[in-house]
């Protein structure tokens, strides 16, 4: 898992962990339930074990609790007065004047909650990338970008759709469109209309390679795959015509996505911090 995806989850976990920090705040039942649901969703996406998630839910289960009446005036020998209130884990309804309840307050520590968050953070260090052609972090990051990068997000979505349909030719076509779009972020490359011209120019320009954060070998591999695609698909008048093997299409698509990842993570041509 790369640093962008890790940071996305780490930021979300940090936000969720702040819930309940204020011991004197009153909470609505709906926001407590909403927070629990959001925690479970994030835990599930990170890959927290189902047993841990189940214990987390059990820790925040609904029950009836007894709390001491804070407004009772007690005299010597008098028994304490208790009220039955609803509780959601460590949160219980606060007893107001005349025994009325007034929102929820935190009565004790989060206990098991800390374990669940600790496990989630640990998984972030070791999580294996899902078997997709487009890494989830990349799709999420590009979907947050400005309209200027909307075409990149669309290309990524189309590539994933082609991949799931085992559409080799469509996958390669979408990959080439994506590669064109990313290369066009460089002013000099954008002036060249043909993809081959862009790649050849990039191969011979060390400064441009550094700007994209890629090696010469990677660009040469992309250029070779492009040539195969052109010969077998675009040149319809040649006698040798057959479908591109899906393995070849997938390999080319992976190369393109790796190129895009390098460019974004390098942050010079495309900055992933831009909103």
Those residues with Cβ within 8 angstroms of residue 48's Cβ, 6 or more apart along the chain or in another chain: 116, 119, 120, 123
- Most distant CA pair in the chain, distance: 105
Classified as helix, coil or strand, 108 is coil
The tens digit of pLDDT for each residue in 171-180 reads 988 999 999 9
Q: Are 199 and 221 in contact (CB under 8 A)?
A: no
Give all domains of the chain, ordered by start, each with its CATH number: 3-126 (no CATH), 136-266 (1.20.120.330)
pLDDT (tens, 9 = 90+) of the chain, 275 residues, equals: 666 777 889 999 999 999 988 777 889 999 999 999 999 999 998 889 899 999 999 999 998 877 666 555 554 555 566 667 888 988 988 876 555 567 888 877 777 888 899 999 888 866 645 567 888 788 888 877 666 677 888 899 999 999 988 898 899 889 999 999 999 999 999 999 888 899 999 999 999 999 999 999 999 988 887 655 554 444 455 554 456 788 888 888 999 999 999 998 888 887 655 54
133/121 Cα distance (integer angstroms) = 25
């Amino acid at each position: 898992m790369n640093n962008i995806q890790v940071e996305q989850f780490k930021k979300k976990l940090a936000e969720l962990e702040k819930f309940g920090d204020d011991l004197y705040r009153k909470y609505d039942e709906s926001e407590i339930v909403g927070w629990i649901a959001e925690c479970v969703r994030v835990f599930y996406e990170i890959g927290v074990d189902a047993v841990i998630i189940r214990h987390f839910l059990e820790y925040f289960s609904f029950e009836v609790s007894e709390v001491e009446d804070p407004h009772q005036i007690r005299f010597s020998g008098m028994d304490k007065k208790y009220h039955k209130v609803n509780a959601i884990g460590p949160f219980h309804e606060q007893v107001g004047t005349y025994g009325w309840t007034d929102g929820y307050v935190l009565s004790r520590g989060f206990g098991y909650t800390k374990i669940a968050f600790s496990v989630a953070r640990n998984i972030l260090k070791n999580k294996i990338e899902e078997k997709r052609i487009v890494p989830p972090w990349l799709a999420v990051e590009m979907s947050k970008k400005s309209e200027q990068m909307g075409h990149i997000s669309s290309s990524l979505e189309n590539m994933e759709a082609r991949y799931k349909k085992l559409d080799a030719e469509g996958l390669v076509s979408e990959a080439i469109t994506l590669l064109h779009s990313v290369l066009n972020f460089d002013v000099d490359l954008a002036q060249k209309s043909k993809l081959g011209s862009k790649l050849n120019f990039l191969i011979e320009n060390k400064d441009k390679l550094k700007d994209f954060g890629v090696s010469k070998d990677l660009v040469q591999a992309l250029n070779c795959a492009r040539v195969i695609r052109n010969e077998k698909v675009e040149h319809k008048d040649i006698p040798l015509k057959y479908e591109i093997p899906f393995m070849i299409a997938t390999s080319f698509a992976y190369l393109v996505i790796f190129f895009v990842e390098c460019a974004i993570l390098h942050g010079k041509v495309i900055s992933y911090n831009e909103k």
